[in-house]
Amino acid sequence: MAEKSIPNPSQIRPVPTPAPQADSSHVRNPGMALELDWVHEVKVNRSAVERRAATLGPRRSVKKDWQAAWLLRAIRLMDLTTLQGDDTPGRVRRLCAKARRPLEQRIVDALGVAHLDIRVGAVCVYHEMVPTAVECLAGSGIPVAAVSAGFPAGLSPLRERIREVEASVAAGAEEIDIVITRAHLFTGDWQAMYDEVKAFRAACGRAHLKAILATGDLRVLRNVARASMVCMMAGADFIKTSTGKESVNATLPVSLVMVRMIREYLERTGVEIGFKPAGGISQAKQALVYLSMMKDELGRRWLEPDLFRFGASSLLTDIERQLEHHTTGHYSAAYRHPMA
């Protein structure tokens, strides 16, 4: 198939506004009653999804200035993340400093984008590190996202998980990433999944809720589609692919299914739901494919931080390298662009 160029780059070039906080003008998902008939009627044609996913990269060509514009956009859509067992306050402080200034000044000057004030969409940390991140990001407009509710397994008692969500919000987190109980899906207990996510949504208050499906554990695409729909019905503001801890994390077929569930929910309810692919997205060229998928499937509106995020830790390093190559014609070593 012949290459097809992305339309006018002015449509995707970053705009000179800060990343929106959790209380942006975007209308949050109020949720709805659980419609089991709607859930049960969901079907997925796996071969068709895989064929479509296979075309997403080859049929798009983004080069030169257009590519630089898309990569700058990707930075603004990034949840800069550290979720390691050996995280320290010092590491989180370095991560927050990188979130405020994700590109080296020489790259910013060479691109002529200082006026855009490029920053990441959020910083994502464990609950324990929320106070440190909130302190470091004060006044920046960059929200702190906390992984709560027994992340990554989500198997601690429900009351304890709800209390952790409440504690993260009280500590200053403006976004909460929770992981669903996969057992509810495998036993077909959609009511239990709905009630659980709804309880987390209530515990979040004004903070936005991202529901992690842990798609690598869900085995078939129909499970991904149904879990997506139940979480949206329960009030999730975002649906997210993975914890980053599964053996298989974000993939294009899984992401395509989730995005089309978002589109179906929008058509039926008029409510816009965000999407966050996470885990395994470490190369700039992967980010470009995801951006083109969002624009194709949901439209330009889903290229804003209040509706799309990358969950990433090493992606920023490769984007910096690509932007330096764009300005100098040479690739630099990755260690020259430390993440934190």
231-251 pLDDT, tens digit per residue, is 999 999 999 999 988 888 999
What is the reported pLDDT for 25?
Answer: 53
3-state SS track over the chain: CCCEECCCHHHCCCCCCCCCCCCCCCCCCCCCCCCHHHHHCCCCCHHHHHHHHHHCCCCEECCHHHHHHHHHHHHHCEEEECCCCCCCHHHHHHHHHHHHCCCCHHHHHHHCCHHHCCCCCEEEEEHHHHHHHHHHCCCCCCCEEEECCCCCCCCCCHHHHHHHHHHHHHCCCCEEEEECCHHHHHCCCHHHHHHHHHHHHHHHCCCEEEEECCHHHCCCHHHHHHHHHHHHHCCCCEEECCCCCCCCCCCHHHHHHHHHHHHHHHHHHCCCCEEECECCCCCHHHHHHHHHHHHHHCCHHHHCCCCECEEECCHHHHHHHHHHHHHHCCCCCHHHCCCC
Say if residue 2's pLDDT is above 70: no
The single residue of 79, 98, 177, 210 carrying the catalytic annotation is: 177
Phi, psi of 31 (to 5 degrees): 80, 180
Say if residue 336's pLDDT is above 80: no
Active site residue 79: no
The single residue of 98, 198, 276, 295 carrying the catalytic annotation is: 276
Say if residue 253's pLDDT is above 70: yes
pLDDT band at 141 (very low <50, low <70, confident <90, very high): very high
Say if residue 300's pLDDT is above 90: yes
- Asked if 241 contacts 224 with a C-beta cutoff of 8 angstroms, the reply is no
Q: What is the CA radius of gyration of the chain?
A: 19
State whether the Cα torsion 140-130-78-25 is positive or negative: negative
What is the reported pLDDT for 39?
Answer: 96
Lowest mean pLDDT among 25-34, 73-82, 210-219, 313-322: 25-34
Query: At residue 40, what is the residue type?
Result: H
Say if residue 1's pLDDT is above 70: no
Active site residue 63: no
**Taking residues 47-70, what's their average pLDDT?**
89
Active site residue 245: no
Q: With CA atoms as reference, report the closest residue to 282 among 318, 228, 237.
A: 318
% of the chain beyond a pLDDT of 90: 80
Q: Return the domain boundaries, the chain.
A: 29-330
The single residue of 198, 210, 240, 295 carrying the catalytic annotation is: 240
Contacts of 124 (CB under 8 A, 6+ apart): 79, 80, 81, 82, 83, 144, 145, 146, 147, 175, 177, 311
CATH 3.30.450.90 for domain 29-330: no
What is the reported pLDDT for 239?
Answer: 98
**Could you read off the pLDDT of 171-189 as tens digits, one per residue?**
999 999 999 999 999 999 9
What is the reported pLDDT for 77?
Answer: 98
What is the reported pLDDT for 169?
Answer: 98
pLDDT band at 339 (very low <50, low <70, confident <90, very high): low
What is the reported pLDDT for 59?
Answer: 74
Contacts of 174 (CB under 8 A, 6+ apart): 21, 22, 23, 122, 143, 144, 145, 206, 207, 208
**Taking residues 266-280, what's their average pLDDT?**
96
pTM for this structure? 0.90
